[in-house]
Structure 1
């Protein structure tokens, strides 16, 4: 099976020893994305709604680099700092999908990189 590294200049550069995504055959595995602005490298955290939009935009840009979009996503994992933010995160997340939603789990965690309040990873299939 052919493996290809996917990195988009329209998404934040990795902050550790990993890639934005790896495509293996027709499957795309996207590393967890936080609300880093790809141009400034700064976190966008004015509120949880804006932070979640930035995360979803980063994911959309990585999907696009691989020739995919949210309709190709089959699995998402959402990591959040505060389960009290779940409703707002869920509302924003849902706006990026049309038709069928992917499988998903949401987990409250003790800490996320760069002080993020939400991180989302995805698996897509073309």
Structure 2
């Protein structure tokens, strides 16, 4: 059996520089790279403002979902990387729960020493099942 795949990128310079896609669909599974807090032109958003970074990162996750015609309730797993996790755990937990609503995907949250961009405090990736119905 052959599985078709397709990729998606925002067209930002670092995608080619690092050699990755924002998402790859393989069959009915969508693998979304860690999303970052940036605007549509690629400018970083929210230096020093953790909550704004999380909200903008989740907005970018929504942009990827929209491209594939996916919904939040089709997310089966999130991976959340947080710089200074002890300081930001309550905020990221609250914002993640609000984003997911009544849907409860699996999730791993990890404290990290550093992330790719100098002012970056959070990165959120996801796995989505496009054939999941509720």
Q: TM-score w.r.t. structure 1 length? A: 0.90
Q: How far apart, CA to CA, are the structure 2 residues paired with 1:110 and 1:64? A: 31
- Displacement of 1:42 in angstroms is 2.6
Q: Deviations over 1:37-83 (max 9, x none)?
A: 22352332351111100000000000110110211100000001111
Q: How far apart, CA to CA, are the structure 1 residues paired with 2:13 and 2:107? A: 23
What RMSD, in angstroms, separates the aligned Cα atoms of the two structures?
1.5
Greater Rg by CA: 2
Q: TM-score w.r.t. structure 2 length? A: 0.85
Matched, 1:51 2:61: no
SS in 1 for 2:100: coil
Number of the residue aligned with 1:117: 121
Is the Cα contact below 8 Å between 1:28 and 1:123 reproduced in 2?
Answer: yes
Where do 5+ consecutive residues of structure 2 fail to align?
Answer: none
SS in 2 for 1:113: coil
Is the Cα contact below 8 Å between 1:55 and 1:119 reproduced in 2?
Answer: yes
SS in 1 for 2:45: coil
Counting matched residue pairs gives: 123
Q: How far apart, CA to CA, are the structure 1 residues paired with 2:95 and 2:47? A: 14
